[in-house]
Chain A
């Protein structure tokens, strides 16, 4: 593969950004649920 460093960096950055964002939302959700209970997790 030519330009492998650039290509793999791009794919890794994308995975890290999306995975990192999802992980952050999950952690904050778990923390909030622990305090509030499961009742608040819904669309309103």
Chain B
């Protein structure tokens, strides 16, 4: 554990940075333009990994929330992991939507379409924004953690809806290229490599950011605790000072 605290995060950060640099090289310079999408395909090397990372982040939030709710594994640490991961999930879902829009304009001719995949992804974004807002509501830490955990379990229901929307409904959005029902990737070799490196780079980046965000939350919890203790000590000092003052006219 000590090794992880001292060095693990640095190693993870270095791996994430190296894989992101490799992704830039493969995605922007090495992989060829697509026959139909031309160079807009280069946005896919970010869009697909961002969507995958959002699924992963919300999956971690759900798992941590379930572990918090289960009495045998309940720990404030799971609540912190759930909140940190949800924040990252919202970041990656936002990126997914923006990158999809930037890709859609040159390829489909529109920035936005009322398509099942796109709308369910936007719903996912707002669901977890609501979850993050719920975490900010002032309450006893235990109560706040419990209700946030329950909300996280409900919000995750939208993740399979997003993923399978292209199978369940007729959509403008294309079907899964790699993780399709036949498990038969329909993508050219160097493009597949760029996509794979993208998924790896975004996963490592997510893990690194989760670690940094978790540590920040622990620090800020400590800060909040210190402020509460200082406020209690101040009130006590005021009460003691009031008790020492002899009211005028009471001694005769």
Contact = CB atoms under 8 A, between A and B. Distances in A.
B139 interface: no
A3 B5 contact: no
Interface in A10-24: 10-11, 13-14, 17-18, 21-22
A35 B226 CA distance: 10
Chain A residues touching B, range: 20 to 34
Contacts of B88: 21
Interface string B162-173: 000000000000
A43 B27 CA distance: 35
A2 B40 contact: yes
A2 B39 contact: yes
A35 B88 CA distance: 26
Given A1-B39, A2-B38, A43-B1, A33 B212 contact: no
A40 B223 CA distance: 9
B219 A33 contact: yes
18 contacts: A2-B38, A3-B40, A6-B43, A7-B42, A10-B47, A10-B99, A11-B24, A13-B99, A17-B94, A22-B209, A25-B209, A29-B219, A32-B220, A32-B223, A36-B219, A40-B222, A41-B215, A42-B215
Contacts of A25: 209, 212-213, 216
Interface residues of B, number: 39
Interface string B83-102: 00000100100110011001
Main secondary structure of the interface of A (DSSP, over half): helix
Interface in B165-193: none
A21 B98 CA distance: 16
A3 B106 contact: yes
Interface of B: 1, 4-5, 24, 27-28, 33, 38-40, 42-43, 46-47, 50, 77, 88, 91, 94-95, 98-99, 102-103, 105-106, 205, 209, 212-216, 218-220, 222-223, 226
Given A21-B91, A32-B223, A36-B226, 6 more contacts: A6-B103, A13-B102, A18-B91, A32-B220, A41-B218, A41-B219
Contacts of B39: 1-4, 7
B223 A36 contact: yes
Contacts of B77: 43-44
A43 B43 contact: no
**Closest 3 A/B residue pairs (Cβ):** A32-B219, A2-B38, A3-B106
Nearest to B47: A10
Contact of A21 (B4, B209, B219): B209
A7 B42 CA distance: 7
